[in-house]
A and B are shown apart, each in its own frame.
Chain A
Amino acid sequence: MNQDLRREREAASFNPELLTHVLDGSPESTRRRREIENLILNDPDFQHEDLNFLTRSQRYEVAVRKSATMVKKMREFGIADPEEIMWFKRMHLVNFVEPVGLNFSMFIPTLLNQGTTAQQEKWLLSSKGLQIIGTYAQTEMGHGTHLRGLETTATYDPETQEFILNSPTVTSIKWWPGGLGKTSNHAIVLAQLITKGKCYGLHAFIVPIREIGTHKPLPGITVGDIGPKFGYDEMDNGYLKMDNYRIPRENMLMKYAQVKPDGTYMKPVSNKLTYGTMVFVRSFLVGEAARSLSKACTIAIRYSAVRHQSEIKPGEPEPQILDFQTQQYKLFPLLATAYAFQFVGAYMKETYHRINEDIGQGDLSELPELHALTAGLKAFTSWTTNAAIEACRMACGGHGYSHCSGLPNIYVTFTPTCTFEGENTVMMLQTARFLMKSYDQVHAGKLVCGMVSYLNGLPTQRIQPQQVAVWPAVVDIDSPESLTEAYKRRATRLVEIAAKNLQNEVIHRKSKEVAWNLTSVDLVRASEAHCHYVAVKLFSEKLLKIEDKSVHAVLRNLCLLYCLYGISQKAGDFLQGSIMTESQITQVNQRIKELLIAIRPDAVALVDAFDFQDVTLGSVLGRYDGNVYENLFEWAKKSPLNKSEVHESYFKYLKPLQSKL
C-alpha cells in the first residue's frame, strides 16, 4: 500500500468500520452486502471489462451480456429481496447501465400497478425472466416533463375491438426511452386515449414492437437508437414512431380506467395512486445522488493524499495536495454534503416505505407532502451533486480529465438525473406550489404538519422582509440544533417573500398564472431554502442516534461544516434576513477553516467508510492501495491508439504532408 495512505489510515481518530455500519443501517446489513458482493467477485464467470477502451457498440454488447447472465445468476444464488437485488446488480453491472433496466424498473412495476390480474398473468412471468423485454415509452421528441402535452394517440375502434396507435407529428415520436432502440420487443406506451370521438387523456398501453424470432420491427412500427449521448453509451435509448398500428383492446392497462368493448369509457376511482411510482423513483434518486457523490469524494480525497505538488515552504519537500487549504476547502464541504445526502437518502427510503404501508391501508393523507418533498429533494440533491462531482473531478487536475480517473464516467452517468424523472426546475416549482398552499393554509388559521410545520409560527412572528427585527435567540455557530434553527428562519423568510411577491403580482396582473411565472425565480429560491433546511435538519437529527463517541465526534464536525459552509455560500440570505450579523459571518468563515483542519486527519478514513470496492469505483486515481502512477502508466498502454508503434495516419497523411508542401 502507498505509504501516504497507510499513514493516513493509521492516524484516523475513529474506526471506519463502525461508520460503515451506520451508513448501511446495521452491522448485519454491512455483512450481508459484503457477502453478496463477494459472491460476484469470487465467481469465475464474472468478467470485468474496462469500459473506457470499448466502442459504443462493444459497450452495448457487454451490457446486454451482463443483463442476460445476471438473471441466471440471481436465480442461482437465490437473491430475491429488493435491497439484496440492488446490491447484487450494482456489483454485477459494475458501472455499466443496463439496456434491459427499464424492464425491471418501469415495465414490470407499471404492469403491477396498473394492470388487471389477467394482464399480469399474461405478461408478468415472461417479462420477469426476460423472455419478453419491455420498456416504458413516455417522453416524446417535443414533450418531456409536461405529461399533458404528449401527442401520441390511441383511438379505439369498436368494430375490431382494437386501439389504433399513431404518432401524428415529428414532435410526437417517442424519444429517449431506454432499451427501446435495439433491445426491447414490447413497450408500455403512454398515449392520449380517444374513444367515441372524445379524448380522455393519457393512458398506458402494452405495445409489441419487434417480431418474436427475428427481432425485426413489426409493420407500422419505426424504431431505432437516438444516437450518441454524453454518457450512457451502452444504453440504447430509442425512438418509436407508430403508423396506424393496431393492438387488441386487452392491451390497455385497465386496473383503474377501462374501455368497454363498445367503446364506453369508465373513469378511474382515484388517480392519486399513480403518484406512487414517481415518488418511489424520485426518492430512490436522492440515494443515488448520495452514492455518486460519495464515489467522487472517495476518488478525489484518496488521490489528494497521494499526489504531491508545489511547496508550502520553499525548499521543503512537496506536500500532499490535501494539505493545501484551498484543496481542503474544495473537497471537505463536498464530503460533508455526501454524508448529509446519505442520511437524506436513508430518510427518504424509510419514509417511502412507511407511507407506502399507510397507502396500503387506504390512508393517503401524507402523500401530497411526500410528493412535494421528493420532487424538491430530488432537484436539490441532484443539482448539488452534479456540480460537486465536477468539482471533485477538477480537484484532481489534469488526470481528472482522463477516463482513468473514473470521474468523467461518474459525471456523465449522473448528470441526466437533473433532467429525467422530472426536470429540476419544474420539480422545484412543484415543491413551491405545496409551500404556497401550506402558507395560505396557515394564514387561513389552519395548522400544517410535517416538514413545513415551521410555517405555523408565521402569523405570530410577522416577519417583514425589510425589518431589522432581532430573532428571539442568537445563533450558536457551534450547535447543529441552533444552525438548523437558522436554516429554518431562512426558509420561513424566503417562503414568505415568495408568497408576498406572488400576491402582489396577482393583484397587478389579474392572472394567477402570469403572476406565478413572474415570481418563479423567487419560488425556486424558496424551495431550495426549504430543501436545504430539511437536509440540515436530518443531518443534525442523525447525530443524536450515533452511539460511538469517536464516530459521533467526526460526524458532528462534518455536520457543522455542512451547515456553516452553506451559510457562508448564502451569506446574503442570512444577513438580509437579520438571521446572523456581519461579525457572526466572519466567525462562520473562521470556524470553517478550523473545521477543515479538524477533519483533515480523518479525511481518508471518512471516504474508506463508504466501503466501495475498487472495481465499483472504476478509478486508477481512487484505488484503495493508492498505487496511482504505476497503474496509470499500465492503463494508458492499453489505449487503442497504442496498438501499433507507428500509427496508420502517419503513412496516410503526415508523411505526404512533409513531402507535398
Chain B
Amino acid sequence: MGSPVHRVSLGDTWSRQVHPNIESERHIQSFNVESLINILDGGAQNTALRRKVESIIHSDPEFSLKYNYFMTQNERYVAAVQRKFHLQTIAKRLGWLENSLEFHYAYRALSGELALSLHHVFLKSLRTLGSEEQIAKWTPLCNEFQIIASYAQTELGHGTNLRGLETEATYDAATQEFVVHSPTLTATKWWPGDMGRSATHTLVQAQLICSGARQGMHAFIVPIRSLQDHTPLPGVTVGDIGPKMDFDHTDNGFLQLDHVRVPRENMLSRFAQVLPDGTYVKLGTSQTNYFSLVVVRVDLLLGEIIPLLQKACVIAIRYSVIRHQSSIRPSDPEAKILDYQTQQQKLFPPLATAYAFHFLASSLLEFLHSSYDAILNKDFSHLPELHALSAGIKAMISDSCLQGTELCRQACGGHGYSKLSGLPSLVSRVTASCTYEGDNTVLYLQTARFLVKNYLQAQAQATPGSTLQKSLPQSIAYLTTTDLARCPAQKAADFLHPKLYTMAWAHVATRLIKDSVHHLETVMQSGADWDEAWNQTTVIHLQAAKAHCFYISVKSFTETLEKLENDPAVQQVLKRLCDLYALHGILTNAGDFLHDGFLSGSQVDAVRTAYLDLLRLIRKDAILLTDAFDFTDQCLNSALGCYDGNVYERLFHWAQKSPTNTQRNPAYEKYLRPLLQSWRSKL
C-alpha cells in the first residue's frame, strides 16, 4: 500500500500514535482500500499525482489553513488572495498548466480557499461563448494575470431567470461601441464572486439592443478597474456585498454601470454577432447562452459540491468510533456511538449518497465531454438533454449534499457546532450550492419541462395501439419500456438485486411523469392555457423530476458496479452502498411506491428489513470507506475527523489558539469589573 502522505499525522508531538479505537477498525480489511481510492481517482496514476501535489501544498506553510476558523471576513479574503498568488508562482515554476489535473488537485488540497476562482469561470465562458479571435486575444491576458476577470450575471432584483435581467447593452453604430448600463437599482449586478475587491474585468450578461430591437441576453467583457491603480473606472460603481454565511474568502460584489462604453469586439460572438452597422446575426439556438452555465454547473459537482459531503461523512464517521456514550448493555463499558442503530441510520445513507453522487457526476462529466466539441461546432442535438440532465442532477446533488452534511454535523452532537469540527463550514458552503448556478426548484422544473415535452412528443408520434415510437434521448428511454404493475419481490433478500430496485425506481419515475402530464392536460382541458396550467401543476412536476433524477443516479451506480467484476471485494462493499442508497430512497418515498400498489405494505416492510440489515453490514467497513476518499488531515481541517482519531487532544489544543484565549479581554475592563466591584464595595 506504500506510505500515502495523508497517513502522516499533523506533526503534533502529542499525536504520534493512532487512537486504538480507530486502529482496530482498520484491522479487518474486507477489501483493498487503495484499489477503491484508485477507482475514485480514475486510475492509480491520478492517485499518485494527487498525492504528489498534496505533499507540495501541505509542506508549504504559506498554504496553511490552520488559522482559517479564527479569521475575520477581511482576513480570510486577504489570506485567500495571498494563497492564490503563491500557488500561481509555484505553478509557474513547476510548469502546471491552466485547467490541468495539478491545479484541480491543488484546489482540492486547499479546500478551494483561494481567491480569483471566477477568473476561471470567465475563461470557461470565454471558451464556450467566444469566437476563436476572442479566445486568442483574452486567454493569454488571463493566464498571465494581466487582467483579473469575473463573471457578472445575477442582479439585485433578478437571479435564475436570465431573461428578467435588466442590464442593457445598446449598440452605437456611430462609434462601434456598446453602451452598457444599469437602468434601475434592481439592475445592479449583485453576488458575482471576485468582483467586490479584486477583478479588473468582468463578463457582464446584458440585454442586447441593436438597431432598436431587443435581442436577449448576451455576454460583454467590461473593464471595471484601472490597470494602473485599481480604482474603479469612470461610470463604474463597484464594491463588496457584505458578510455572508460563508465564502468569506470570496469578495462577492455589486456593480452599477452608468453608460459605460466598450468596443464592439467585447461582445462574445461564437453564437451571435453584431455587425459594424448594427445588424444582428444569430449563429446558434436560443439555448447556446446556457451552454457555459451547463459547463460550470457540471464542473462544480465533482470540484466543489460532492467533496463537501464526502468530508462531512469522513469527519462524522471517524468521530463516531472515538466518541463513546452510554452503554448498550448495563454491564458493558460505554459503546462507540457508531454501534447505535440510530447513529448508523443517520450516517450511512449520506455515505452511500456520497459514493452514488461521485459515480453519477463522473458519468455526467463523460457525457459533457463527449458532446462538448460537437456543440462548439454548432451541432446542438445533445444540448437539450445535457441541459436537462445537468439541471436536475445539480439540484438533486446539492439538495442531498446539504441534507447529508447537516445530518453529519448534528450526528456529532455539541462538537458538531464548533467550527473546529470543520462541519459548520462544510454546511454553510454546501448550502450556497442550492441557490448558486440556478435555484434548485427552477432547475428541477427545467428538467420537468424536458420530460413533459419529450413524453408528449413521443406520445403524439405513437400510432394508436403501438408503444411510443419515437426514439427518446437515452436518459429517458426507460419511459417507453414495458413496465410491471406489481413488484415481483417476495422476501427481503429479493430487494438486494440492482435490477429489481432500478426497475422499481423506473416504475415510479414513469408513473409520476405520466401523472404530471395527465394533471397538466386536465387543467388545460378545463380552460387554462399552457403557462397557467404549468404553474398550477408545478408541485407534481417537481416530484416527477426528482424521481427521474433519483432513478438516473441508481442506474449510474449499478452500471458502475457492473464494471468492477475484476475486483469482487470492492464490488461487494460498493454494492451494499448501492443497495442502501436505493432502498433508503424507497423508504423515504414509500407513499409513491404504495400509491398504485406497485409495492404492497408487506413488501415495504421487507424493504425496511433489508435496509436495517445493510446498516449492520456496512458498519464493519465504515472507517475504510471513509479512508477511501483519501482526504488529507490538512484539507479536512477538522479536530474531530483526523486520520489518527486523536479527537479530544486536538480539540483542546486547537481551542487554545483561539484569539479569545490569546488576546486580552476588553469587556472585562470595561463592563465586568465595574459590576463585580460594586459588590466588593458593599462588603
- Measured CB to CB, the residues of A under 8 A from B are 52-53, 55-57, 60-61, 64-65, 67-68, 126, 129-133, 139, 141-146, 148-149, 170-171, 173, 175-176, 181-183, 185, 212-213, 215, 224-232, 236, 239, 307-314, 318, 323-327, 329-330, 390, 393-394, 397-398, 400-404, 408, 412, 415-416, 418-420, 423-425, 429, 465-466, 468, 511, 513-514, 517-521, 524, 568, 570-578, 582, 585, 589, 592-593, 629-630, 632-633, 635-642, 645-650, 652-658, 660-661
Contacts and interface: CB of A to CB of B under 8 A. Distances in A.
A641 B164 contact: no
Nearest to A592: B539
B538 A324 contact: yes
A646 B70 contact: no
A64 B669 CA distance: 11
A641 B74 contact: yes
A412 B72 CA distance: 17
Contact of A227 (B70, B72, B77): B70
Given A129-B679, A645-B232, A64 B671 contact: yes
B88 A639 contact: no
A425 B81 contact: no
A574 B242 CA distance: 47
Contacts of A568: 591
A661 B92 contact: yes
Nearest to A651: B230
Contacts of A314: 531
Contact of B676 (A185, A313, A638): A185
B13 interface: no
A139 B92 contact: no
B161 A56 contact: no
B73 interface: yes
B671 A68 contact: yes
Given A215-B668, A398-B159, A142 B648 contact: yes
Interface of A (DSSP majority class): helix
B529 interface: yes
A572 B593 CA distance: 8
Contacts of B465: none
Given A416-B414, A513-B330, A227 B241 contact: no
B660 A401 contact: no
Nearest to A412: B424
A642 B345 contact: no
Interface string B71-93: 01110011001101100110010
Most buried by A among B231, B325, B330, B345: B325
Contact of B435 (A212, A401, A415): A401
B12 interface: no
B194 to A, nearest CB: 11
Given A330-B441, A429-B342, A55 B535 contact: no
Interface stretch (B183-191, B501-509, B553-561, B567-575): B183-191
Contacts of B540: 589
Nearest to A324: B535
Contacts of A570: 591
5 contacts: A181-B661, A402-B245, A572-B587, A572-B594, A658-B144
Q: Is the interface on chain B under 10, 10 to 19, 20 to 34, or 35 or more residues? A: 35 or more
Contacts of B69: 227-228
Contacts of A429: 342
Contacts of A397: 159-160, 435, 439
A224 B657 CA distance: 11
A149 B326 contact: yes
Contacts of B432: 401
Given A309-B158, A397-B159, A52 B242 contact: yes
A60 B243 CA distance: 18
A653 B251 contact: no
Nearest to B648: A170
A419 B423 CA distance: 14
Contact of A572 (B144, B591, B665): B591
A646 B595 contact: no
B595 A585 contact: yes
A650 B230 contact: yes
A312 B663 contact: no
Contact of B186 (A182, A226, A236, A629): A629
B413 A227 contact: no
A465 B328 contact: no
Contacts of B673: 215
A236 B659 CA distance: 12
Contact of B612 (A424, A521, A637): A521
Given A126-B679, A129-B679, A225-B655, A401 B240 contact: no
Given A56-B660, A144-B414, A176-B414, A582 B539 contact: no
B116 to A, nearest CB: 9
Contacts of A393: 431
A424 to B, nearest CB: 8
Contacts of B440: 394
A308 B660 contact: no
Given A143-B325, A640-B72, A325 B655 contact: no
B538 A325 contact: yes
Given A224-B660, A401-B245, A520-B340, A60 B667 contact: yes
B164 A325 contact: no
Given A64-B667, A131-B679, A520-B342, A571 B595 contact: yes
A541 to B, nearest CB: 27
A445 to B, nearest CB: 29
Interface in B525-577: 529, 531-532, 534-540, 542
A327 B445 CA distance: 12
Given A61-B667, A524-B342, A227 B654 contact: yes
B536 A325 contact: yes
Contact of B658 (A126, A228, A632, A645): A228
Contacts of A313: 529, 531-532
A308 B187 CA distance: 13
Contacts of B536: 325, 593
B326 A312 contact: no
Contacts of A511: 329
Interface in B20-59: none
Contact of B672 (A64, A176, A230, A645): A64
B417 A653 contact: no
A230 B534 CA distance: 40
A641 B239 CA distance: 8
B145 A141 contact: no
A629 B241 CA distance: 12
Contacts of B198: 647, 649-650, 654
Interface stretch (B170-178, B283-291, B298-306, B600-608): B600-608
Contacts of B413: 144-145, 419, 423
B420 interface: yes
Nearest to B83: A653
Nearest to B345: A521
Given A129-B679, A239-B655, A585 B146 contact: no
Most buried by B among A230, A518, A638: A230
Contacts of A574: 591
Contacts of A227: 69-70, 418-420, 654-655, 657-658, 660-661
A624 to B, nearest CB: 20
A64 to B, nearest CB: 4
A464 to B, nearest CB: 10
Contact of A521 (B160, B254, B327, B342): B342
B124 interface: no
Contacts of A143: 325
A132 B197 CA distance: 47
B601 A312 contact: no
Interface string B504-527: 000000000000000000000000
A653 B82 contact: yes
Contacts of A578: 601
Nearest to B537: A325
Interface in B86-123: 88-89, 92
A394 B74 contact: no
A229 B428 contact: no
